[in-house]
């Protein structure tokens, strides 16, 4: 299927899966009408910490309070794609002889780190 922005997919009975109008009684997640009860928080068994507001200037860019918000939101997918695999760690599988593909084994770890700059500690001697 190729996405066509001129088509209103929400009105297509084959494509539309409805709105997320069901609220989980445990975690308050929005869910689809036919979604399983335990999909979000295992019926209250999983508890996540509250999501904190992003640091500045990211918060202002996301909320429209920054002069470059429109440009940022227009390109946010490109920014995400640029950083998605910039730094990761895994156990590399190396085989004897010619290795035609990059193989990893086990879990892939993203090493994004903080989006905030490191604090420089300057002391005059």
Q: In this predicted model, what pLDDT tens digit does every residue of 7-18 receive, in sequence order?
A: 777 777 777 777
pLDDT on residue 62: 93
Return phi, psi of residue 62, to 5°.
-75, -30
pLDDT tens digits along 41-66: 998 999 888 888 989 999 999 999 99
Phi-psi region of 68 (alpha: psi -120 to 50; beta: other; left: phi over 0): alpha
* Same domain as 34, residue 61: no
Residues of the domain holding 64 = 52-82
Report how many domains make up the chain. Answer: 2
DSSP state at residue 67: T
In angstroms, what CA-CA distances link 117 with 3, 66, 74? 38, 20, 25
The answer to whether the predicted template modeling score (pTM) of the entire model surpasses 0.85 is no
Number of helices (H), then strands (E), belonging to the chain: the values are 2, 4
CA atoms within 13 A on the CB side of 87: 4
Residue 119 in domain = no
């Amino acid at each position: 299927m190729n996405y066509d922005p001129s088509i209103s997919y929400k009105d297509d009975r084959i494509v539309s899966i409805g709105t997320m109008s069901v609220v989980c009684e445990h975690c308050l997640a929005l869910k689809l009408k036919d979604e399983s009860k335990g999909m979000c928080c295992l019926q209250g068994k999983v508890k996540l910490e509250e999501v904190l507001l992003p640091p500045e200037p990211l918060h202002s860019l996301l909320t429209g309070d920054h002069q470059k918000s429109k440009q940022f939101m227009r390109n946010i997918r490109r920014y995400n794609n640029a950083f998605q695999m910039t730094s990761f760690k895994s156990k590399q599988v190396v085989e004897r002889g010619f290795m035609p593909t990059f193989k990893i084994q086990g879990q892939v770890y993203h090493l994004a780190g903080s989006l905030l700059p490191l604090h420089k500690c300057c002391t005059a001697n």
